[in-house]
Amino acid sequence: METSLDFTHLMLVAFLVESLIQTLKPLYDKETGWNMDKIISVIVGIAVCLVTNVDLFAELGFMVSIPYLGSILTGVIASRGSNFVHDILKFVQGKAEKQKAEFEGVG
């Protein structure tokens, strides 16, 4: 069972890293320069998560060794909008339900 948990964490980390890259990549374009709308969105997302102490990584059981970094990364993810965050929550909920069903089946 530990192997599936490790694999689930690996999948989740890969998903979160990809989402962070896809969020940060369009901030600057060689032809058009800085995308101020995206930059403001990221700044607001980070600020809201820091002020409200929202940390997706802590909620998912990932211990971040640098204080506030989990909230900062969560803010970057949140800046992509509610549809994207909803997709993350569906992914996490599906994994949690699967693990709960496996646990209940053991007893």
Tens-digit pLDDT profile for residues 9-57? 777 788 778 888 888 888 998 999 999 998 999 999 999 999 999 998 8
Which tops the pLDDT comparison, 104 or 56?
A: 56
pLDDT of residue 106: 61
Look up the pTM and report it: 0.70
pLDDT of residue 1: 42
List of long-range contacts for 53-56, beta carbons under 8 Å, 24+ apart: 54/78, 56/16, 56/88
Which tops the pLDDT comparison, 78 or 6?
A: 78
